[in-house]
Amino acid sequence: MLKSFDAKTATRALELAREALQIETDALAALNARLATDETVGQAVSLLLQCKGRVVVSGIGKSGHIGRKIAATLASTGTPALFVHPAEAAHGDLGMVTPEDVVIAISYSGEAAELMAILPVVKRMGGHVIAMTGKPQSSLAKLADVHLDVSVAKEACPMNLAPTASTTVTLALGDAIAVALLDLRGFKEEDFARSHPGGALGRRLLTHVRDIMRKDGAIPAVGLETRLPDALLEITQKGMGMTAIVDADNKPVGVFTDGDLRRMIEKVQDFSKVVIKDVMHLNPRTIGPDQLAVDAVAVMEEFRINQMLVVDPDGTLVGALHIHDLTRAKVI
């Protein structure tokens, strides 16, 4: 069972947490100020934009964890990238690196033996290296084509040992570079969605009406001269709470819903003689099959309706869409 802290311990914990956050905040502010007069980020971005291969990110220990995140962010925002562990690279994985690649090597000390064992090989084969270190005079910084300074005044660790502020700064700079590349490549929401087809944004931007609409025999539709009882049977069988009314060319000219029926009950005693064309709503809301499903959501919300008809460019009925279809497809 979890023991509660006494007030003194809880206060001290809060003080330490806030102190750590302040140290990291100050480190980020210092980085931002440094970039105002530092041309190396622009050089790095230019090199990455010219890269005809992939961006290979490498680092060991905590730097490796940060490197994996940077590689993942680059890959998901339009810059092909992967992470390669330097120790594994020294034992065969270096074969994944080509002369057209750019390597981003991360080591705060700039002296990581695992990186220094493989980067000269990368340089000899014609590859380029961007180094992220806290030591501008380090071996890695001197070897690199571009050096990015991620130095910090101190770590958030009370002993000034555990990588904390330095990893935060490195990650933030990696994000900044990814965002710059994203914008300069003209990367759009649609591109992001293609990289994230399983996410909410992917579903919203990649799901079209045709992907989820009801088709063929599942479309509720009756002719203009259909008697109301037969139209109600169509509504019941198709389970959409509505039916389209179509002309001889299968083009919708009206719609009749459950709500229309409820409103009629108080006024009409004998439904058997009512013809659907006399009680239908004219000019029903329609959408094209190639439009995004999210567009259908917008129309339904604007006009407070639960169903829509889907028509092709000639106005022919080709589908029907219920708000439940959109919910099941996780568009909303």
281 class by beta-carbon count within 10 Å (0-12 exposed, 13-18 middle, 19+ buried): middle
Lowest mean pLDDT among 101-105, 139-143, 161-165, 265-269: 265-269
Q: What is the pLDDT of residue 248?
A: 94
| Separation between Cα atoms, residue 73 and residue 191, nearest integer Å | 14
Query: For the ranges 3-7, 16-20, 46-50, 317-321, which has the lowest average pLDDT?
Result: 3-7
Q: How confident is the model at residue 60 (pLDDT cuts 50, 70, 90)?
A: very high
Token representation of residue 272 = 């058997």
- Report the half-sphere exposure of 132 (CA within 13 A, side-chain side): 28
pLDDT value of position 190 = 63
- Which of 25-29, 167-171, 219-223, 268-272 has the least mean pLDDT? 268-272
276 pLDDT band (50/70/90 cuts)?
A: very high
Instruction: State mean pLDDT over 193-202.
Output: 56
pLDDT at 78: 85
Question: Is 153:46 a contact under the CB 8 Å cutoff?
Answer: no
299 pLDDT higher than 70: yes
Residue 197 has pLDDT above 60, yes or no: no
pLDDT at 139: 96
Q: Tell me the whole-structure pTM to 2 decimals.
A: 0.66
Nearest to 248 by CA among 315, 309, 312, 322: 315
Mean pLDDT of 4-29: 90
Structure tokens at 58: 């490498």
Mean pLDDT of 219-227: 94
Q: Residue 113: which of 142, 147, 139 has the closest Cα?
A: 139
Summarize pLDDT for 132-161 with one digit per residue, the tens: 999 999 999 999 999 999 999 999 988 888
34 has a pLDDT exceeding 90? yes
Q: Please, what are the domains in the chain?
A: 7-187 (3.40.50.10490), 209-328 (3.10.580.10)
Confidence of residue 189 (pLDDT cuts 50, 70, 90): low
- As a whole number, mean pLDDT of residues 284-290 equals 93
Q: 93 or 141, which is more confident?
A: 141
- Closest C-alpha among 276, 279, 283, 288 to residue 317: 288
Computed over every residue of the chain, the mean pLDDT equals 90
